[in-house]
Amino acid sequence: MEIYWERYQKPLFVVENGLGAKDYPIHKEDGSVEIADDYRIEYLRKHIAEMEKAIENGVDVMGYTVWGCIDLVSASTAQMSKRYGMIYVDRNGNRTEGTTGQDRLLKFIYTHTATRLLIRPFLSPWVSKLGGTFLSTRLSAVAIRPFVEKNQIDLSQYEKQEFASYNEFFTRKIKAEERPVEMDEEVLISPCDGKVSVYPICEKGKFEIKHTAYTAEQLLQDAHLAKHYYGGWIYILRLTVDDYHRYCYVADGIKSSQKKIKGILHTVNPVANDACPIYKMNAREYCLLKTETLGTVLMMEVGALMVGKIKNHEQRNCRVCRGTEKGMFEFGGSTVILMTEPGKVQPDEDLIRNTEAGYETLVKLGEQVGRKIKV
């Protein structure tokens, strides 16, 4: 400060003084939450002390502001993975609450025997294929504008704004800068936009999704592979029709070939899961991603009602990079599932708390959803 004062002889105002770093809340037994950021306090204390010395030496200091009072979204990355504030802000504002008209309709259908029988023909993959064929025609393009207006989709975020068919619109590619990817190799990123829930897998391979019981063996149809994930975590990332329907690899590593499991195509709305075990009934496919820092992560894509195709770009064994596009879903809701091995990844605390409270949490492709467990 004294250098600038000596050179310009103008009053100085210190602004946006702060330190960006990744902090994680510590949940205490008494229910309180603490952020251990003494280093940030020390950083600010030293800067203020230097400012005080400058005033004593005759520098005309008009004022001081810190960056910032509370945590905020980064203008350059649109993320909150780094903290700057004196007050911690988590992602609770992104949890989803309430029910929609679609939820109420599906609840009626799935909780009555007669209506479940009526929709059974529509669960066939052939029905979805027929629907997908029509949605790839030029005639289907008339449905694009009403959908965009209803869901308030900003097409300027995407590489194209004009589409020849509804499926071309549905699988539109977003501009890279709209989905920045967290590149810390110790971080597990979200593979897609969606609503996430996380569940522990018990030592016998059992887990519950919204009170519906599953086993890892039922999901994978491979008893030997399932045992590798006993004691780990499972992430359920549910995409609705208005979400971005492309997904990426969650880390650098070597992927296995894709394994496909045949099935029917229930909706993946949680209402349907309350009535039947949709994730062990629906068509799905998966690969194993062997990483250096996060263990072997299983990545699975689950088809859903009116999803014509799960389109993975790479079917064989190969090396892949974090954030690189893995594939896309054609029209409809759908789900991406991640499974992590025991002792490898700890899901973010807000995701665990929201899931335990019965909420899903909104996440974007590329942002942090877990971190390597340090031994």
pLDDT tens, residue by residue, 320-356? 999 999 999 876 658 899 999 999 999 999 999 888 8
- Rounded CA separation 172/161 (Å): 9
Single out the catalytic residue among 128, 136, 197, 334.
Answer: 334
CA angle, 332 then 334 then 340, to 5°: 170
Q: How many residues are listed for the chain in this entry? A: 375
Residues 189 and 80 in one domain: no
**According to the model, what pLDDT value does residue 120 have?**
57
- Check if 184 is active-site: no
Give, in degrees to the nearest 5, the angle at Cα 248 between 315 and 344.
95
Q: How far apart are CA 100 and CA 107, in angstroms?
A: 11
What is the full DSSP assignment across 12-39? EEEEEE---B----EE-TTS-EE---HH
pLDDT digits (tens, 9 = 90+) for 124-152: 555 556 666 777 889 989 989 988 988 78
User: Which two tokens mark 216?
Assistant: 């890892």
Within a domain: residue 295? Answer: yes
- Per the annotation, the verdict on 76 as an active-site residue is no
Q: Are residues 322 and 196 in the same domain?
A: yes
- How many other C-beta atoms are found inside a 10 Å radius of the C-beta of residue 94? 17
Q: Please check whether residues 192 and 330 belong to one and the same domain.
A: yes
Given a contact cutoff of 8 angstroms between Cβ atoms, the answer to whether 267 and 301 are in contact is no
Q: Is 155 helix (H, G, I), strand (E, B) or coil?
A: helix
Q: For the chain, percent helix, then strand, then coil, each to nearest 5?
A: 30, 30, 40
Query: Which residues in the chain come in under a pLDDT of 70?
Result: 24-33, 73-81, 89-132, 210-211, 264-281, 304-308, 331-333
Query: Environment class of residue 213 by beta-carbon count within 10 Å: exposed (0-12), middle (13-18) or buried (19+)?
Result: exposed
pLDDT number for residue 100: 47
> Is residue 345 a contact partner of residue 291, using CB atoms and an 8 Å limit?
no
Evaluate whether residue 15 is within a structural domain. Answer: yes
Cα 175 → chain centroid: 17
Can you tell me the distance from the alpha carbon of 286 to that of 260, in angstroms, rounded to the nearest whole number? 7
State the catalytic residue, choosing from 90, 193, 252, 348: 193
Residue entry with tokens 């549905």: 170
How far, in Å, CA of 358 to CA of 247, rounded? 25
Give this prediction's pTM.
Answer: 0.68
Structural domain total, the chain? 2
How far is residue 137's CA from residue 83's CA, in Å, rounded to a whole number?
Answer: 47
- Supply the range of the domain harboring residue 228: 176-372
**Are 72 and 186 within one domain?**
no
Residue 65 lies in a domain: yes
Shared domain check, 253 and 350: yes
Query: Looking at the domain assignment, is residue 75 inside a domain?
Result: yes
